[in-house]
Amino acid sequence: MNFISDPITFIANWLGNLLLSWGLSQTFVTVILKFIGAGLVGTFGFALVIFTIWLERKLYGRIQDRLGPNRVGPWGIFQTFPDMIKIFTKEYITPVGADKVVYNLAPILSVSAVLLTWAVIPFAPTIVGTEVNVGVLYLVAVGAIGALGIILAGWSSNNKYSLLGAFRAVAQVVSYEVPMVLALLVPVLLGRSMGVNSLVNAQSVWFIVLSPIAALIFFTSSMAETGRAPFDLLEAESELVAGYQTEYSGLKFGMFYVGEFLHAFTISALTATIFFGGWRGPWTEQVPILGVAWFFIKTFIVYFVVVLIRISMPRLRIDQMLNFNWKFLTPLALVLLVLTAVLDKAFYLVLPSLNLLEAAIPWVRAGMHLLLNLFIVIITVQLLKSYKIKSVQVVAKPKPIAVAPEPPASVIS
């Protein structure tokens, strides 16, 4: 292994051999290496938040025609550190009647549920936390733990607003998990694997080309899972009491925010990995470390879109949000899944009789899937149009319109 092209594997091998030469047992060395790896991935994810908070505030400011943070360091890039020190010294206020253990557990749970995701995200062909063969389902499971953190926070605070907010938040998270899982089934079906790294390996043509609808559904529903604008109606800070976070103060409150910012970045990384080819890019075969750069370029592009949506969209109502999920996203995802399955099977059935070039097969397949997606989009748009006309016909009953009375003729003359 070359140090320049693949430093992580090189260092891991070197360290493993060193420890083995000290006479430690193989199992123990494996545990130590895994522990160091896990620590690095966790530290990296946590440190990322410091940067993304600054980035998001800066973007937010610039788009609203403000300067954003600009005092500490160049472009205010170290602004987060004074904020961290400030929040560290804030007092914890535990409300009366709170369930202490659960109350303290909830913020930890909501951050760790997001951080856990990073265990299976591949940064480069060889730099991956772990490659379990059920990686995609692991992502879904981690999302389920996040919902648990919310409900624990709401219940243990002993506050009506918290509990109500938690109930609504869980209803939202849980509802949007259905189209998310459905949309994740499409890449699993196309890539014939559940491991995240092997899904990246399977994307000789990016899955966004094969199935843009699945990408959009996944992106939208994971946006909704983060609970940020435009889906932040449960903790609308400017209008309502802050939902399940109402009774939290100091760093415990801060941890919910860390979790939220990290979640936004994590869904960008997931979208980039599963639909935009992850570390794939030119020259990654020769220099695996280059994959990290490609991965982060893609992730930051998606993250920019996430922030842009957060800044520019108005808040939804809860009935609109749930209707959008159950009556639009879920049926669409089901139809997409069925048609994709049938088309893919049909394609591989007729493939032997087509006499295609070996290199052209993925592209022909991608083209067919793209055509199918376009077809579904057109049908959906038509259906939506007719639905809209119908609903307009129902709603638009003629109402008496107030008309200014005709001025008496004498005034005119």
Partner 1 sequence: MQSDWLFIGLFLLIVALFPGAPIFLAGLISPHRSNTQKSQTYECGLETVGDTWVQFRVQYYIFALTFLVFDVELVFLFPWAVAFGQLSMFGVLSGVIFILILFVELLAAWRKGVLEWA
Partner 2 sequence: MTPEQIIFLIVAVVTLVAGVSVVTSRNLIHSALWLILALFGVAVFYVLLEAGFFAVIQVIVYIGAIAILFIFASMLTRRVMQDTGHQSNKNWWLGALIAFGLLVGITLVLVNWQGFTSLAPVLANQSERLSQLGLALVSPDLYVLPFELASVLLVAAMIGAIFVAGEKKQ
Q: Are 185 and 124 spatial neighbours (Cβ–Cβ below 8 Å)? A: no
- Contact with partner 2 (CB under 8 A) among 55, 128, 151, 214: 151
DSSP annotation of 2: -
Figure out which of the listed residues 45, 107, 125, 143 binds partner 2, where binding follows CB under 8 A: 143
Cα dist. 88→57, 91, 249, 255 in Å? 20, 8, 11, 11
Nearest approach in angstroms of CB 126 to partner 2 is 18
Residues of this chain, 77-106, that bind partner 2 according to CB under 8 A: 102
**If you ran DSSP here, which 8-state letter would residue 66 be given?**
S
Contact at 8 Å (CB) between 148 and 110? no
CA gap 242, 14 in Å, rounded: 50
Q: What whole-number distance in Å separates Cα of residue 55 and Cα of residue 61?
A: 10
List b or e across 229-255, with b for residues whose CB sees 16 or more CB atoms inside 10 angstroms: bbbbbbbeeeeebbbbbbbbbeebbbb
Minimal distance, residue 96 CB to partner 1, in Å: 5
Report d(CA 314, CA 2) in Å as an integer.
Answer: 51
Residue 266 contacts which entry, partner 1, partner 2, none (Cβ below 5-8 A, type-dependent): none
The answer to whether 109 and 258 have CB atoms below 8 angstroms apart is no
Q: Which CB sits closer to partner 1, 307 or 321? A: 321
Q: Which of 66, 71, 192, 388 binds partner 1 (CB under 8 A)?
A: 192
Question: What is the per-residue burial (b if ≥16 Cβ within 10 Å, else e) of 297-320?
Answer: ebbbebbeebbebbeeeeebeeee
Among 133, 204, 312, 382, binds partner 2 (CB under 8 A): 133
Choice between 156 and 284, CB closer to partner 1? 156
Listed residue (221, 232, 222) closest to 256, CA to CA: 232
- Of 36, 67, 93, 134, the residue at the interface with partner 2 (CB under 8 A) is 134
| Residue 95 interacting partner from partner 1, partner 2, none (CB closer than 5 to 8 Å by kind) | partner 1
Contact 131, 120 (CB under 8 A): yes
Q: Which stretch binds partner 2 (CB under 8 A): 166-174, 334-342, 343-351, 391-399?
A: 166-174
Rg (CA), the chain: 26
Quick note: the x/- pattern for partner 1 over 132-161, rule CB under 8 A, is xxx-xxx-------------------xxxx
* Residue 148 contacts which entry, partner 2, partner 1, none (Cβ below 5-8 A, type-dependent): partner 2
| 96 part of the interface to partner 1, by CB under 8 A | yes
- Type of residue found at 111: V
Minimum gap (Å) between residue 224 Cβ and partner 1: 13
294-323: contacts with partner 1 (CB under 8 A)? 318-319, 322-323
Contacting partner 1 (CB under 8 A), which of 15, 29, 77, 189? 189
Tokens of 337: 């899944």
390 binds partner 1 (CB under 8 A): no
Which of 108, 313, 351, 381 lies at the binding interface for partner 1 (CB under 8 A)? 108
Q: Could you tell which of partner 1, partner 2, none binds residue 251, using a CB distance below 5 to 8 A set by kind?
A: partner 1
Chosen residue from 18, 236, 313, 338 binding partner 1 by CB under 8 A: 338
x/- site string to partner 1, residues 257 to 286, per CB under 8 A? Answer: -xx---------------------------
Based on the shown chain and the rule CB under 8 A, indicate whether residue 170 belongs to the binding site for partner 2.
yes
Within 10 angstroms of residue 401's Cβ, the number of other Cβ atoms is: 5
Length in residues, the chain: 413
Establish if 326 lies at the interface with partner 1 (CB under 8 A).
yes
Which of 30, 312, 382, 386 is in the footprint of partner 1 by CB under 8 A?
30
Q: Are 250 and 97 in contact (CB under 8 A)?
A: no
Taking the least distance from each CB to partner 2, the nearer of 178 and 242 is 178
Q: Which does 152 bind (CB under 5 to 8 A by kind): partner 1, partner 2, none?
A: partner 2
Q: Using CB under 8 A, which residues numbered 191 to 250 contact partner 2?
A: 192, 194
Burial of 321 (0-12, 13-18, 19+ CB in 10 A): buried
The total of other beta-carbon atoms located within 10 Å of residue 273's CB is 28
Residue 406 in tokens: 């005709």
In the complex, least distance from residue 192 CB atom to partner 1, rounded to whole angstroms:
5
Residues that bind partner 2 (CB under 8 A): 27, 31, 102, 132-134, 137-138, 140-141, 143-145, 147-148, 151-152, 155, 163, 167, 170, 174, 177, 192, 194
